[in-house]
Amino acid sequence: MSNLIEIKNLLKKYSDKKVIDGINLSIKKGEVVVLLGPSGCGKSTLLRTINGLESIQNGEIIFHGKNIHGKNTDWKKIREKIGMVFQNYELFPHLNVIDNILLAPTKIQKRDKKEVLIQAEELLKKVGLEDRKFSYPRELSGGQKQRIAIVRALCMNPEVMLFDEVTASLDPEMVREVLDVILNLAKSGMTMFIVTHEMGFAKLVANRIIFLENGKICEESDPKEFFSNPKTQRAKEFLNIFQYEN
């Protein structure tokens, strides 16, 4: 299968500090890549450079054969194709669920409201929230808000989804319902690049694990291999942190 995203020699610095230090990485269409690594190693920064939330100092990110960090990139257009969901659900508090979902497809993509509404209702059903169409974010649990945030991103018809620790601020009983949504997306063939601290989920959903350390790829493995027999000492130490979860 062909590469959907190709990252070449990526360098990102904050003042003099190299936060992303020469990363090369490709993601194929339909592939689910999970990015792991200790706090501060650059996971969020890497994801954010992929949809233009961070500038870069060197290298390329190729999407549809074009370096999106080159000149004249229309990031609005790119972000329609590269969806992202963050740790903190960023629903508009003054809009109900359906208006949150319809906003970008109708205003940015200028799509027909009736058509988007049908799609939104289908997606809401898939995440088990078809009865919350008219709820406001404040009336929803954290897990419900995150599922809505995912639906909102999917309603743009993205080609790839980036997830940055989307369950990190959820109570444990809500983590599962959000991870199930992402697992179903994987089954449907969605290309995804996921940062998570849920190791059981990572093992289950990933086609490939990337372990990052100080802005560099330290290990790149098949998930079974990574979790049973990590190649590097750093990855072994990292996995030991999660030993109580197994």
- Using CB under 6 A, list all residues that contact ligand ADP: 14, 19, 37, 39-45
Which listed option, Mg ion, ligand ADP, none, makes contact with residue 221 (CB within 5 to 8 Å by class)? none
Q: Point out the residue whose Cβ comes nearest to Mg ion.
A: 44
Of the pair 53, 183, the CB lying nearest ligand ADP is at 53
Q: Cα separation of 208 and 60, whole Å? A: 22
CB of 165 to Mg ion, least distance (A): 6
State the nearest-atom distance from the C-beta of 15 to ligand ADP, in Å: 7
Give the nearer residue to ligand ADP in terms of CB position, either 109 or 214: 214
119 binds, among ligand ADP, Mg ion, none (CB under 5 to 8 A by kind): none
- Could you give the C-alpha distances from 70 to 1, 56, 229, in angstroms and in order? 25, 10, 39
> Which among 77, 79, 17, 71 has a CA at the least distance from the CA of 42?
17
- Using the minimum distance from each CB to ligand ADP, give the nearer residue, 41 or 101: 41
| Partner touching 137 among Mg ion, ligand ADP, none, CB below 5 to 8 Å by kind | none
Cα angle: 6, vertex 196, 122; to 5 degrees: 85
Q: Which residues in this chain contact Mg ion in the complex, by CB under 5 A? A: 43-44
Name the E strands within the chain: 3-14, 17-28, 32-36, 58-63, 66-67, 82-85, 160-164, 191-195, 208-213, 216-221
Beta carbon of residue 42, minimum distance to Mg ion (angstroms, whole number): 8
Side chain identity at residue 12, one-letter code = K
Q: Which is nearer to ligand ADP, 39 or 72 (CB)?
A: 39
Q: Output the smallest distance, CB 137 to ligand ADP, in A.
A: 25
Give me the least distance between CB of 32 and ligand ADP, in Å please. 19
Query: Of 67 and 214, which CB lies nearer to ligand ADP in the complex structure?
Result: 214
Angle formed by the axes of helices 97-107 and 142-154, nearest 10°: 20
With b for 16 or more beta-carbon neighbours within 10 A and e for fewer, the 35-73 pattern comes to: bbbeeebbbbbbbbbbbbebebeebbbbbeeeebbeeee
